[in-house]
Amino acid sequence: MYPVLFEVFGYAISTFGLMMAVGFLVSAWIVGKRLAEFGHDPELSSTILIYAMVGGVLGSKLYFAVDQWLLGTMPFLDALLNRAGITWYGGLIGGTVVVTLATRIHGLPTKMISSCVATAAPFGQACGRIGCFLVGDDYGRPTDGWWGVAFPEGAPPTMVPVHPTQLYEVVWLVVVGALLWRRRKTSPFLFGEYLAANGFGRFFIEMLRVNPKVGLGLTEPQWIGVGLVVLGAVGWMYYRGREEESPA
């Protein structure tokens, strides 16, 4: 694994940071393509990218800080200022809130922008998960399978081969992204489909990970996954009903 690429004045540049940046850029490129399909200036994707980056990073750090503080494992401010703790679900919440505000500020249709983001987010998230694999983070339980990977410099390190759950999620996200791209012109609410598919995949991949169970035998990410499935399904049904009513 390659957790650190190089150092600049003693500051380590990690492969995760690089892949996160690549993920944002890939997402912005796809959003630009979708904006052009809607007849909007594709250059607006750069503006949306800035809002998504700010909201995503702030949301992920706040989620991590609050989570660690509630668990009693780290003071809130220490967790907030720690380089670790770039949590996807926190980033999803923060990015969604800030980008939604951006659509209001710039007078863009929120549902249209959500459709653009839905086609881009799976591929951007997949890039981030590749970064997790390269730094040895978020891996799964030990396995005897030939595909097991040891992370001697991981977080935390392990010399025992484990499930590379990061790569499992990459495969799932690429499949989801391809399906959403095919449905981009027919779905009543594409962002709802993305949320549901994201939560569904994470729920089952989480069964191979080692996160502690917090209630009814489920881990925190699994509960969030269930919430995303419900939220996505409710949103999809809401917009499907509105589309059916619109001709009348």
Confirm whether 241 is domain-assigned. no
Confirm whether 204 is domain-assigned. no
CA distance 71 to 11: 29
Confirm whether 229 is domain-assigned. no
What's the pLDDT at 1? 64
Confirm whether 203 is domain-assigned. no
| Cα 129-22-100 angle, rounded to 5 deg | 85
Confirm whether 111 is domain-assigned. yes
CA distance 194 to 221: 16
CA distance 23 to 44: 17
DSSP per-residue letters across 36-72: HHTTS-TTHHHHHHHHHHHHHHHHHHHHHHHHHHHHT
pTM > 0.85? yes
Number of domains in the chain: 1
What's the pLDDT at 245? 47
Confirm whether 231 is domain-assigned. no
Q: Are 136 and 3 in contact (CB under 8 A)?
A: yes
C-alpha separations of 229 from 22, 120, 131, 233, 236 in Å: 27, 19, 25, 6, 10
Range of the domain at 91: 4-186
Confirm whether 156 is domain-assigned. yes
- The end-to-end CA distance of the chain, in Å, is 59
pLDDT in tens, the chain (248 residues): 677 776 776 777 778 888 989 999 999 999 999 999 999 999 999 999 999 999 988 988 888 888 778 777 788 777 777 766 677 788 889 999 999 999 999 899 999 999 999 999 999 999 999 999 999 988 999 999 999 999 998 888 999 999 999 999 999 999 999 999 999 999 999 999 999 999 999 999 999 998 888 889 999 889 999 999 999 999 999 998 775 544 43
Confirm whether 48 is domain-assigned. yes
